[in-house]
Structure 1
Amino acid sequence: MNIETSLDVLRYAAFTPVPSLGAGPRSGNPAGVVLDASALDEAAMQAVAAEVGYSETAFVTARDDAQRRFRLRYFSPLAEVPFCGHVTIATAVALAERIGPGELLFDTPAGQIPVSTTTGADGALRATLTSVPTRTRPALPEELDGALAALGWSSGDLDPGLPPHVAFGGVQHLVLATADRARLADLDYDFDALAELMRRHDWTTLQLVWRESADRFHARDPFPVGGVVEDPATGAAAAAFGGYLRALGLVTRPTAITIRQGEDMGRPSELLVDIDPADPRVRVTGRAHPIAEAR
């Protein structure tokens, strides 16, 4: 039975770049949004997320429009996750279209996530989420060895200036930086082996990055634990990565960086990340717009 027939499941593309940078019908990360999930139990939400088939679907399980406060749960096709950035951006834009731009507060399993929604000069809505406090630690040798083996990478592929870490911005991500853009482009990993490793260490994605410059990075995010080969834009990982850069001492004053993601899979996405050395949280900004897709 198609559960969606009795629900209003919205579809948005999140972290779409501006038109001049490659926005199009296949840009951004598709997200499912259910703005009234108050009658759904966990099993029903999981079933809907599996039917939608996107990397994440958000469910608003309680809402107070007057206070602009909402409770969210997030489901991949395979499991619930505590936090997801791209579908948070999509949900915020969907709400702003209905109740107007402004400040929102999302209560999530990872904690409270303030989101600011605004209309840009181009007329497009965008949202800025503020993460929970970030943290990071060096990856353990066995963690790194397992990841490199599943990816088919070697230690010589890594950028010594960006050491492997496990970074947190609501959920955990293994950060691996390559010194070579071609290495990032040539991603062909062992899906089952990486999924097993990620489940063992409680990682949501791998944040694979290449540093183009001090304020511009390219990323790819395998997500096999969610049943998805690769995520085109990962806001939670972007927040974690911002905290990682701050912890390494690579950010010493308020700094904005850009992460380009999804390019190698044909879904170019752009994430704007604001990092303040005095604030353990990180702000991630992106555009989102509705997409039409047959159910």
Structure 2
Amino acid sequence: MYRRLVSSSPVAVLRYAAFTSDAVGGNPAGVVLTADELADDAMLGIAADVGYSETAFLSSFVGGEGVLRYFSPLAEVAFCGHATIATAVAIAERHGAGPMRFQTPAGTVDVVTRREGDEIIAALVSPPASSAPMTEAELDDLRSAFGWAVDDLDPRFPPHVGSAGNRHPLIGLRDRERLARFDYDYDALADVMARREWTTVHVFHRRAEGVFDVRNAFPPGGVREDPATGAAAAAFGAYLRDRGSLPQGSEVVLHQGVDMGVPCRLVISAVPDSTAISVAGAAHTIGPDRTRR
């Protein structure tokens, strides 16, 4: 429990795992539903104490609309998909499922929640999402940090940098075994990502038509890997959409966190008449003993 800077009322920090149908898998996020009186340094301090890759802070929430901000233990983040899903599910559990809208540093994010049996599914509409070919210099930096040979890359998926509020390199690997190893020079990659202003590195392998195994390196968040990354999933969705691999009315399933022992499932689809991508998944409450992986 944390104290507001102005009010003497305690501020509750909720803990959820997003993009999972149980409390074992998923990506942990902190959620504060009453952040109206918290200053920036207080939110950063809470996020650092919680210790997850991101904690979401909701303020001015009236009539299904509010302001949502995200902090990692190190800094504010413009947009975080899994923390948005966690926040939406937390609201729906308390006030009922339905549409909601958040103003975030990356722009307006709409979310629709619905109940399916005993769980709540949240589908967010990302900020405008796009991708562009990666430069040779950018790719050389990544290959050096990861130790990839040219033959490690999947020639069916040219390297791109995608964006949906944050920038994410998108790299396809030819072999699932190479993805499973996922070894890289942490300090070297952290330096590259800081210079390039990248948030995660989204590495993927095509398992089957419409199904991918993915992993996300996350040195800017202070961890080697993120278990589930909604913002990167949206950027990847834009990449697939622009390549004709995510047509209107179709869905692509991303399996993330499997190699970390915290399986996550993210479902992405193109939003009609928009450049946004929908990212959907469930979320469940977890105890304070659950640490980030």
Same structural fold, with TM-score higher than 0.5 when normalized by the shorter chain: yes
Task: Provide Cα deviations, 1:69-121, integer angstroms capped at 9, x if missing partner.
Answer: 0101101111111000000000000001111100000110000000000000x
Distance 1:252 1:128 in 2: 18
Match in the other structure for 2:219: 224
Q: 1:147–1:277: structure 2 CA closer, same or farther, 3 Å change rule?
A: farther
1:58 equivalent among 56, 64, 68: 56
Distance 2:271 2:13 in 1: 36
Match in the other structure for 2:160: 165
Residues 1:104 and 2:95 aligned together: no
Residues 1:285 and 2:289 aligned together: no
Residues 1:235 and 2:233 aligned together: no
Distance 2:193 2:242 in 1: 23
1:173, 1:206 within 8 Å by CA — same for their partners in 2?
yes
Residues 1:15 and 2:19 aligned together: yes
- Paired residue secondary structure (1:218): strand
Of all paired residues, the percent bearing the same amino acid is 49
Distance 2:53 2:115 in 1: 26
2:27, 2:264 within 8 Å by CA — same for their partners in 1?
yes
Distance 2:104 2:32 in 1: 15
| Aligned-pair CA distance for 1:3 | 4.5
Distance 1:261 1:191 in 2: 20
| Aligned-pair CA distance for 1:4 | 7.1
Distance 2:218 2:64 in 1: 31
Q: Which amino acid aligns with 1:38?
A: D
Distance 1:92 1:251 in 2: 25
Match in the other structure for 1:20: none
Q: Which amino acid aligns with 1:8?
A: A
Distance 1:242 1:190 in 2: 27
Residue ranges of structure 1 left out of the alignment (5+ in a row):
18-22
- Paired residue secondary structure (2:246): coil
| Aligned-pair CA distance for 1:185 | 0.2
Match in the other structure for 1:136: 131
- Paired residue secondary structure (1:159): coil
Moved over 6 A (4+): none
- Paired residue secondary structure (1:255): coil
Residue correspondences, number: 285
Q: Which amino acid aligns with 1:31?
A: A
With structure 1 as the length reference, what TM-score do the two structures score? 0.93
1:255, 1:276 within 8 Å by CA — same for their partners in 2?
no
Q: 1:63–1:276: structure 2 CA closer, same or farther, 3 Å change rule?
A: closer
Distance 1:157 1:255 in 2: 29
Residues 1:84 and 2:80 aligned together: yes
Select between 81-90 and 154-163 the one with higher mean Cα deviation: 154-163
Match in the other structure for 1:274: 269
Distance 1:294 1:228 in 2: 18
2:246, 2:269 within 8 Å by CA — same for their partners in 1?
no
Distance 1:252 1:37 in 2: 39
Select between 215-224 and 269-278 the one with higher mean Cα deviation: 269-278
| Aligned-pair CA distance for 1:277 | 7.0
| Aligned-pair CA distance for 1:254 | 2.5
Q: Which amino acid aligns with 1:30?
A: P
| Aligned-pair CA distance for 1:293 | 1.9
1:93, 1:126 within 8 Å by CA — same for their partners in 2?
yes
Distance 1:167 1:55 in 2: 20
Distance 1:161 1:258 in 2: 18
1:252, 1:277 within 8 Å by CA — same for their partners in 2?
no
2:168, 2:200 within 8 Å by CA — same for their partners in 1?
yes
With structure 2 as the length reference, what TM-score do the two structures score? 0.93
Task: Provide Cα deviations, 1:229-287, integer angstroms capped at 9, x if missing partner.
Answer: 11100011111111001112323443101000000011100001112575311101100
Match in the other structure for 2:241: 246
Q: Which amino acid aligns with 1:154?
A: A
| Aligned-pair CA distance for 1:7 | 2.4
